[in-house]
Amino acid sequence: MKGLPLSLGLVALFALCAVCAQSDIPVQPDFQADKIVGKWYRIAVASNSNWLQPNKLSMKMGPTVITQTADGNLGVVVTHPMMDRCEKKTLKFFKTDQPGHFRYKNPHSGKDFDVRFVETNYEEYALMFISNTKGTDVYSTSILFGRGKELRTELLDKFRNFSLEQGIGEDNIHILPQTDQCMTEA
């Protein structure tokens, strides 16, 4: 029985450290939500979550449309090209006190996600970081968006380096292949 309080204390410490690690992720200085709105293309995805590896080969570039609501939240419509169809997901990112930092609650799983716009110039690219905690595990996903379907090599390298710095392995970094499927959607 003596070890039980210590074990619970360690679990709490690990959970707290996971939250601390998330707060270390930078947010675009002077983030302007009205400039992030519009159509983007998912150029690359990196994740330490279990979902990436089995789906990696079937993932393709797809459009994402971001709108701003009157209350300052973001509406996000993500379109995934699937075999013979276009699968749409509608998300709502709730603003926090820090511009560029949002929260998202998955309506199916009930999981809370921390969403940060790490860096953007609004006209060419945006780097987003999403994390969630399950027990003592922190799952991280980086997404690189472009206003066009191609980005400069320097931006792809920046995305790769950022993802590696977040503990995402090289084999979990995926540049999405271009496709014409679903590009008029969203």
Tell me which residues of the chain have a pLDDT lower than 50: 1-21
pLDDT value for 23:
58
Please state the length of the chain: 186
**Cα separation of 12 and 53, whole Å?**
29
Please report, for the chain, the start and end positions of each structural domain, with discontinuous segments joined by +: 3-175
The structure tokens listed for 141 are 């996903």
Tens digit of each residue's pLDDT (9 = 90 or more) over 107-143: 888 889 999 999 999 999 999 999 998 778 788 999 9
pLDDT value for 179:
87
**Cα separation of 121 and 36, whole Å?**
9
**Cα separation of 154 and 133, whole Å?**
31
CB 162 within 8 Å of CB 142 = yes
**Cα separation of 171 and 166, whole Å?**
14
pLDDT value for 21:
44
Q: What topology is assigned to 3-175 in CATH?
A: Lipocalin (2.40.128)
**Cα separation of 128 and 41, whole Å?**
13
